[in-house]
Amino acid sequence: MTTHDQKVIAAAQQLAACDGVLLGQFSIAPLAVKIEPTVHGTVLTSPHTTVAKFKSILLKT
């Protein structure tokens, strides 16, 4: 794990009481599995939410 990854995880842990955390950069999405157990709310990632949105759009057409 890189220093950058450790800093991202530490920053997310400071948001533990929030209803949710969005990992907005694709490059940090893999850290969600390490962050999820440490926060109270939902952890969303850019790749997952983007794919889910596109899928919902495509299924409507």
Backbone angles phi, psi at 42, to 5 degrees: -80, 140
pLDDT digits (tens, 9 = 90+) for 43-58: 999 999 999 999 999 9
pLDDT digits (tens, 9 = 90+) for 15-48: 999 999 999 999 999 999 999 999 998 999 999 9
The number of distinct structural domains making up the chain is: 1
Contact 8, 29 (CB under 8 A): no
User: What residue numbers bound the domain in which 41 lies?
Assistant: 3-60
In this prediction the pTM is: 0.79
Residues 6+ apart with CB under 8 A from 41: 18, 19, 20, 21
